[in-house]
Amino acid sequence: MELIDGKKLSKKIRKELATKVKDSNLKPNLAVILCGDDEASKVYVRIKSKACEEVGIDFEEYHLSNTTTQDELTDLIDKLNEDEKIDGILLQFPLPKGLNYDSAAERISPDKDVDGFNPYNVGRLTIGKPKFIPCTPYGIMKMFEEYKIKLEGKKVVIVGRSNIVGKPMAQCLLLESATVTICHSKTRDLKKELIDADIIIAAVGKRNIIKADMVKDGAIVIDVGTNRDENGKLCGDVDFENVSSKASYITPNPGGVGPMTVAMLMNNVVLACERRMK
C-alpha cells in the first residue's frame, strides 16, 4: 500500500506556481466573497488567503453580513466582473438562509469562474473542452498523474453525485477513457457496485461508508469526504484503518484531497491571469 500524499504534492504545485508568477511577472488577483459568520467557511477562507500569499496572488476578501440580500450579492459580483484587475471570483459556500447559491454562482463571469461551477464552464467540461475544471476533481486528476496511475479502461466507481465533486469527476475520468459508474443514496447494492472497481472515489460526507469488504485487493481508493468522529477529529468516508490493508494506493484524510483542492484553485487563478494578460 502506498499513501497518495496530497499535502506534499500540493506544496510542490504551489511552489511551481510561485515561480511562474515571479518569472512571468504576473499579477494574479483573487476576490473571495464570504457571507455570514459560518466558522468553517472562515477557516477555509483563511487557508485560501495563506495559499494566495505563498503563490504571489493578491487576495481580496469581501465579507458580507447575514442580512445581505440577493440583490446586494448580485451587485457585488457584477462589480467584480467588471473590475479588470480581478482574475478570479470565488463565492464561499454555504450562504446564509435566504440567499440562492446557484443563482449567484451563475452570475460570476465564466472568465473569472475559478471554481468551475458556472453552467457555461460545466458545459465545456462535458464536451471535453474545459476552460476551468472544478478544483477537487482537478486535484484528484493531478494525483493520478503524479503517481502515474493509468486510467484508460479502468473501472472507476464514484460514490456521490454532487455538482462539486461527483459529476465533474466523472467527466474528467471519461476524458481519460475510464469506465465510470456513479453511485448515490438510491443505489440498491453499493457493495456489488464497488467490489470490482479498480478505483473508488468516495465523496458523500458519511463516515466509514466505504468498508474493507467492499474493496477488492489492489484497488485505488480516493477519500474526498469531510466528517468528524465522536472525538471531533476530522475523518473521511473510508474506513482507512481496514481499507488501507487491501488498497494499492489510498489517500489519507486529512492530508489527501483537501490540500490539492486549494492548490488547483491557485492554479486556476494563475491560469485566468495568464489568459487576461494575453
Residues with a catalytic annotation lie at 48, 92, 115
Burial of 218 (0-12, 13-18, 19+ CB in 10 A): exposed
Grid coordinates given for 21 = 508568477
Residues ≥6 apart with Cβ < 8 Å to 265? 30, 48, 51, 90, 114, 115, 135
Q: What is the side-by-side strand order in the sheet with 58-64?
A: 58-64, 29-35, 88-91
> Closest Cα partner for 236 from 217, 216, 222, 218?
222
The C-alpha cell 496530497 sits at 6
Cβ(240)–Cβ(89) below 8 Å: no
Amino acid sitting at position 250: I
